[in-house]
Every structure is written in C-alpha cells, then in structure tokens.
A and B are shown apart, each in its own frame.
Chain A
Amino acid sequence: MASTATVAGIGPVFHLEEEHAHAEGGSTMLGFWLYLMSDCLIFAMLFAAYGVLGGNYAAGPAPKDLFDLDLVAVNTAMLLFSSITYGFAMLTMDKGRVAATQAWLAVTGLFGLAFLSIELYEFAHMIHEGATPQRSAFLSSFFTLVGTHGLHVTFGTVWLVTLMVQVARFGLIEANRRRLMCLSMFWHFLDVVWIGVFTFVYLMGMLR
C-alpha cells in the first residue's frame, strides 16, 4: 500500500501507492446515511422533549380526549404502503424500466400526500377544538414532534416530484439512480421515525 523513498537532501518521503480516482458519487450513499443519522438525533431530542413534557396538560385536553386511533391506524397504513411501493420503484429501477418506475413513484407520492392530508385534518381538528400548540406543554411538544415528521414527509414528497421530472427528462441515468437511492433511504427512514411516533405518542398516550 505505502512505500517510502529517500530523496537526497530531504530525507524519507512517504507516499501512498495505488492512489486511484474515486468515481463521482461513490461516497454519496455513506454521506447521506450520516445525514440521516444526524436527523435521527434531531428526532431523539424531540422525542426526549415529548417524553419529559408529554404529561403536562396544564388542565387542558389529554391524549385520550384528542387522539383518534382509527385515524392514526389509517395514517400508519398509508406510510407502510408508500414504503413498499417505493421498494417496488427501486426494484423496477434496477431493471431499467422507466415507465414502471415512474408509476410506482407516483403511487408512492400519492400515499405520501394521503398521509399528509390525514395528518393536516387531524391537526386542524385538534386546533378547532382549542388544542393549539400554545395550550399546554404536552401540546407544544406534540405538535413539534409530529409536525417535524410531517415536514420531513412534505419535503420528501417535493423531492419525489422533482426526481420524477428528472427521470422523465433524462431517464434512469447513473446520477438519477443515485438520487433515487438517497430518497429511498430518506423515505424508509421517515417510516422508522413514524414507528416511534405512533408507539410513543399515540399508543402510549392512549394508555396514560
């Protein structure tokens, strides 16, 4: 791997052999994974805040008064379906079938939009009942945690539409494949965070 040579007047010189050029984007996947890990820490902070403040209702509504588990179950199903349809999009991408990939991406986007619509409906319903983020520490931390996840899904959906335009214009070129793989990790990561949300916030909230 390495060798030393003695150059007169300077002394030993150390240099690596076989220093090779890295292909463009060769380190993107690891870099994106590191970004996801930092995102994971953001969510850990928000979960910790919710864990600490989640019981402080300030004589306001408690989870039992607000949460509708049927709605949360439907929401969870939307995100789960979007996860498997994105998986199908990646499988068809591997086979180089542009139209099928686009179709699966579109289905994934629709499930993402359905998830966001249900969540916005839930938020609007809660705010209409007076359960605003200002009402209590529980509601502040609830809206921050679930809202941050919703914001991630929103940006994921924007990213998905952007990539569909990219694929439509340039096809499944190497760069687009790389981008789709990054979004795949992002999308599945959001599903993992949602497991934490529906368990700690909704299910545990109903048990309180």
Chain B
Amino acid sequence: MSAHDHAADHDHAHGGAAHGSLRGCLIGFVLSVILTAIPFWLVMTGAIDDKQATAIVVMAFAAVQIVVHMVFFLHMNTTSEGGWSMLALIFTLILVVIVLTGSLWVMYHLNANMMPGIHDMREMP
C-alpha cells in the first residue's frame, strides 16, 4: 500500500463516517413511523384474533425496524472503520442471541419441571 492510499483511507474514515443525507434521514423516519404504528395498531385493536400470531408479527416488525434504525440513523455499513464496527456488531449480536435464547430456554424448562414439585415436597417426610 502506498502513502497515497493511506491518505485516501483516512479521508474516507473522516469524511464518509456517520454522515447521512436529508433524504436518508427522512426515509428512515417515515419507515420507522410505519413500522411503529402497525404493531401498536395490531395490539390496540386486536386485528388478528390469534395472540400468538400477533406476537410473532409484532416481533418481526421490531426486527425490521431495528435494521432500519441501524442503516438510516446509525449509518451502519460493511466498510465504515474498515469493517471493524460491523465485526463488533456481529459479535455482539451472537452474544445477545446466546444470552436471550439460552436464558429463556433454560428457565422455561426449569419452571416447567419445578411446578409440580411443590406438592411433592409437602408429601415428603
């Protein structure tokens, strides 16, 4: 890599990082409003009879909205900071998934197995 390339890299890191455009800002805002309003409307009016289905739809909207915020407001992309911010994000997401699914899964089964235990304990000598 030549000295010129280095200079270009630095220009990019300073000039291209975390700066959106008015258009990007507005697109992000409009998408967020839509993606917020629909789940609230679904839950407030009970438009879908099945609660389980509503929960899944609401969670899907949240996931999409988080991506919208990441892209349009936090300006995430694969090239900023030489890809390191994306790498850190992916690492964090893996940890978050392990923590959340692990906790919920283990504790659900713990609760499910403990429930009848209370009665058993009373009958013990």
Taking CB atoms and an 8 Å cut-off, the chain A residues in 166-202 that contact chain B are 181, 184-185, 188-189, 191-192, 195-196, 198-200
Contact with B along A67-109 (1 / 0, CB 8 A): 0010011001100100110011011001000000000000000
Cβ < 8 Å to A, chain B residues 95-125: 95-96, 99-100, 103-104, 107
Inter-subunit contact B74/A195 (CB<8 Å): no
Closest to A181 in B: B18
Label chain B's interface by main secondary structure. Answer: helix
Chain A count of residues within 8 A CB distance of the other chain: 48
| A203/B69 contact (C-beta < 8 A), A44-B96, A87-B20, A91-B20 known | no
A45 neighbours in B (Cβ, 8 Å): 99
Contact B107 A192 (CB under 8 A): no
Given contacts A87-B25, A181-B18, A203-B43, are A30 and B81 in contact (CB under 8 A)? yes
Query: If A18-B3, A181-B18, A207-B51 touch, does A76 touch B85 (CB 8 Å cutoff)?
Result: no
Given A76-B36, A191-B69, CB of A199 within 8 Å of CB of B58: yes
Confirm or deny: A13 has a beta carbon within 8 angstroms of a beta carbon on chain B. no
| Interface membership of A10, Cβ < 8 A | no
A-B contact count (CB 8 A): 126
Q: Is the interface of A mostly helix, strand, loop or mixed?
A: helix
CA distance A88 to B24 in the complex (A): 11
Q: Give A33's nearest chain B residue, CB to CB.
A: B85
CA distance A87 to B58 in the complex (A): 26
| Least Cβ–Cβ distance between A140 and chain B, in angstroms | 15
B100 touches A206 (CB 8 A): no
* B58 interface neighbour in A40, A80, A203, Cβ under 8 Å: A203
A158 contacts chain B at the CB level, 8 A cutoff: no
A83 to B69, CA, bound (A): 10
- Whole-angstrom distance from the CB of B75 to the nearest CB of chain A? 9
Partner of B29, one of A33, A34, A83: A83
Between-chain CB contacts (< 8 Å), 10 pairs: A1-B1, A37-B89, A41-B92, A44-B95, A48-B100, A69-B43, A73-B40, A181-B17, A203-B43, A207-B58
Query: Could you tell me which A residues sit within 8 Å of B by CB distance?
Result: 1, 18, 20, 23, 26, 29-30, 33-34, 37, 40-41, 44-45, 47-49, 51-52, 69, 72-73, 76-77, 80, 83-84, 87-88, 90-91, 94, 181, 184-185, 188-189, 191-192, 195-196, 198-200, 203-204, 206-207
Query: Which B positions have Cβ atoms within 8 angstroms of A?
Result: 1, 3, 6, 10, 13-14, 17-22, 25-26, 28-29, 32-33, 36, 39-40, 43-44, 51, 54-55, 58-59, 61-62, 65-66, 69-70, 73-74, 81, 84-85, 88-89, 91-92, 95-96, 99-100, 103-104, 107
Given A41-B95, A47-B100, 7 further pairs, Cβ under 8 A? A33-B89, A69-B43, A73-B40, A83-B29, A199-B58, A200-B62, A206-B43
